[in-house]
Each structure stands twice: as C-alpha cells, then as structure tokens.
A and B are shown apart, each in its own frame.
Chain A
Amino acid sequence: MLRLQKLSKTYKTGDQALTAIDLDVPKGQVLALIGPSGAGKSTMIRCINRLVEPTGGAVLLDEVDLTGLGPGRLRKARREMGMIFQEYALVERLTVMENVLSGRLGYVGFWRSFLRRYPQSDVDAAFRLLDRVGLLHMADKRADELSGGQRQRVGICRALIQQPKLLLVDEPTASLDPKTSRQIMRLITELCQERGLAAIINIHDVALAQMFVPRVVGLRLGEIVYDGLPTGLTPDKLTEIYGEEDWEATIEKVEDEEIEAAE
C-alpha cells in the first residue's frame, strides 16, 4: 500500500538524512522504526507526508506518487495519513473536541471549520473515538488541562478521525512514563488492528517495540540496516544499528515480559 522507492533527503546544510530508502508497507501492517537519534527516523516519517520535502525518490501511496503532487492534491493525500507526535502537538488553547475535530480539516471548508460548524457525522465520529479512548468526559476541557497520556489519546483521536489508511507515529511514548507508554502503544496497535490500518511507529524504546509490533525496521545514518521480526534483533544486530553496547539486559527484559504475559 505504501512504497518508498530510493527515498532520499539531503538538508540544505549538506547533511544527508536519508540515503535511498526502499520500504514496502502492506495494508494493515504495523511496523516499528528504530535507530539512534539522528538516524533519520523523524525525517523519513515527515518525508512521507511531505512536512519535509524529500530531495529524491518516490513515495507511492496506493500507486500514487506523493512527491510530485501540487498543493491541492497533496492536501487530499495528507487526509489519508494520520500523524501522531512525540509532544502531542495538540492546539493547547482549543478544547479536546476542537482538537479531535481538527482532524477533519482536510474534508471541511474554511468557513465551516472557522465557525466550528462541523457536519453531524464528524461530531458523532469524534464522540465515538473519545469514548473508545476513554476521554468522553473530557470533551469540553481545554487541551492544556490534560495529562500527557490523555493528550496523546486526543492526538490519536485526531489522527483516526481523518479516516486514514496509514498512521505515521513519531515517538509516541518518548514523553510518557513507562506504564502510560505501554498503554498508548497497546491502544495504537489495537486501533490499527480494529481498523485495518498500517502504521509506521518511530520509537526509541527497543523493548517496547518488540512487545507490540510484528515487524521492526532498523535505521542507521539514513540507511535501513535491519528489516525483520522483532525476535531477530540479536545483540549483533542491535550493535549494528546503535553501536557497541551490552545488549543482553535489554533483550532479557523482553523475554521476561513475554513469559509474564504468557502466564
């Protein structure tokens, strides 16, 4: 469904963030993108919906190349891709409901959105989503009154109300505590399953990625150095991605958790 062909990005400063990335994401597959800081994870996600303009290659979403689209067609294409951010990126001074409904901006005209006259179907959808993530009672609260975990749930609602085919998720748990991180990861993966959504999840936490995701892609210096099952991440592989470090503890932790979960 999503195919990256020789996608590359060189910043004006000359930094090569991505070098000819080839990646295929079939419909409904959730994959985690791991790699050290500066490996190009964020850049890659942003090149897909062109928040960052790629400098070469192609992004094919359902066989349509997004890199060549004009502004109008690009907006239509962006509606198909929901995005979730590390720092939530909610509009702090708007209410939870307005933030969720802002996911429909691509479908609604300017004046309707400006006057907050969203179609009833959108409002219904917003209430359903808020109910699904357990924030129905918060609909009228301002976004800056929420806790980190709650904000991220609102961010998820905003992405999902777009009715996307694909979720682009940028470090969803980096600002959250370990427990909330797991809840959020579980929520994202569950929702993707319910709706048959594909997702690319940037994540720092290798153990967390291994717990929730069936496919892991390792990025290093703008190149894919690993693509496979989470169980295939041996210490050697992790060293290849991140550099020399004692990886035994990381991997053991996961195995322990898997045993716990099985029990």
Chain B
Amino acid sequence: MPVLERAGMQIWRRRTGRDSLIRWFGWLIGVAVFVYCWQIISASTTWFFVWDAPRIANDIWTRATPPRWEYITQLGRPIWDTLNIATLGTLIALCLAVPVAFLAARNTTPSALFIRPVALLIIVSTRSINSLIWALLLIAIIGPGVFAGVIAIAIRSIGFCAKLLYEAIEEIDSGQVEAITATGASRWQVMAYGIVPQVLPAFAGIAVFRWDINIRESTVLGLVGAGGIGLQLSASLNVLAWPQVSLILIVILVAVLISELVSAKVRGAII
C-alpha cells in the first residue's frame, strides 16, 4: 500500500518499497540486455565499411550533383503513370473496401458468426502483404506494366481502408440509428440516413490518407517492373547514372509534397 504510517503521520508515496525495487531491477535487466545485444551486433559488423561510409557517401554525392536536369523531359510520362497508379488503385480499393467494412463492423454485419470472420480475413490478408510483393505476384500473373501496379496498390489498400472504415462504423452514435429506425425506415434507408452521414467524414479522411500513402508506394513499384517512375529509377541505378537518380528523387519528393499538400487541404475542408 502506498499509504504508510510512520511516527503517527500518514505518508503517501507513488509506490511501495517493494514495488520500486522490482521496477529498478527491471530497468537493470533491460539495460544489461541492451548492452549485450550491442556487443553481438558490433562483433558481426565489418567496421572498415562503416568507417569508410562517409567517404563513399561523399563520393556518391559528388557524382550525383548536379542532377541531370535535361533528363526531366523523359520523366513526365513515368511520374504521370505513378500518380495514375496511386489514384486508380485507391479508387478501386475504396469501392471494394466499403462493402467489406460494412460486413466487418459488428453493428452492421448481417452475421457476426459467419460473414464477419470472412470480412476480417480479407482485411488481414490484404493488409499483411506489402504492395511490392503483390506487384511481384501480379507481374507473374498478368505481366509487367501499369495495370499490375494498379491492382497491386488496390489489393494492398483494401484491408487498410476497410479496417479504418469498419472501426469508424462501430463507433457511430447508435441513438441516431435508433431514431431513423423508429420512423419506419427500411434497412437501406437506415443505412443512408443513420449510418452513412456519420461515417462520411471518416471515409473521406481515409480515402485521402490512403491516396497519399499510395503515391509513395507506387514510386517504388517500378523497381519490380510494375510501371511508373520506379522503372526509370531502377534503370538509372543499374547503369550507375547518379545524376539521373538524384533528379528522380527530387521529382518523387516534389510529387509527395504536392500530394501531402492536397490531402491536408482536403482533410481540412471535410472536418
């Protein structure tokens, strides 16, 4: 008990003596484990390469600057592809995520025993595999190109969007749903009047957020041949054309900055 009696006074401490001793011991073990791990990592590191790193980095930096600005004429199309992959992928994902979310939410699912686990399985399985791996699989199935990228992004995003959306659905105010039900509204009318208006801001926020993430993810899809600016990136890396690489990185940075700006504006407008 944190309240102690000592010399007739009531003393209050946050923890009892035993409790703080246990905590102190816990910290001791934590630090010991950290030091031990550090030692193992250090033993298996070739320190020569690490000490060398600044020199190599400096070397690459001098090779990569200045960027080859005239190369930008060849980047317009790939960055447009990348934006399209992200946008189309997000749209497809949202279309598929909405029904999945309604089937997964505890308060709207038609059957908590049979359908909900299936919906949750879809969410978990699409979420757990990275879009780069989806792209690799899809390239094997439908061949390389932008389409594989779009589908990879779409599949990867279903789980993410559906999970956030079904959580939003589960948090709605049931009073509003009750009130609409009490007017004699049908199941679909209850959905349209009682539930949809309540989850609409969350939906818009999720859509923009995921689009933002997808722009970043789609920039690397080209590395495995799924279209977009990543194709140029991997081609330039393969021939060690560092000035082109630096220009591509700048273009990606600008694209991501713009997407971030747009999503911030949209989110501000909704909420």
Contacts and interface: CB of A to CB of B under 8 A. Distances in A.
Q: Interface majority SS on A: helix, strand, loop or mixed? A: mixed
Given A75-B186, A78-B182, A158-B183, A93 B197 contact: yes
Given A105-B189, A110-B186, A114-B192, A91 B176 contact: yes
> Does more than half of chain B's interface fall in helix, strand or loop, or is it mixed?
helix
B213 to A, nearest CB: 26
A94 B197 contact: yes
Interface string A173-205: 000000000000000000000000000000000
Given A92-B198, A105-B193, A114-B192, A162 B178 contact: no
B184 interface: yes
Contacts of A49: 182
B179 interface: yes
Size category of the binding interface on chain A: 20 to 34
A79 B183 contact: yes
A118 interface: no
A94 B193 contact: yes
A83 B189 contact: no
Contact size class for B?
20 to 34
B194 to A, nearest CB: 7
Contact of B198 (A93, A105, A114): A93
Interface in B146-202: 173, 175-176, 178-186, 188-189, 192-194, 197-198, 200-201
A162 B197 CA distance: 21
B219 to A, nearest CB: 36
B184 A75 contact: yes
Contact of B183 (A87, A105, A110, A114): A105
Contacts of A89: 173, 175-176, 178-179
A5 B82 CA distance: 68
Interface of B: 173, 175-176, 178-186, 188-189, 192-194, 197-198, 200-201
7 closest cross-chain pairs (CB), A and B: A106-B184, A89-B179, A105-B185, A78-B184, A79-B184, A89-B175, A83-B182
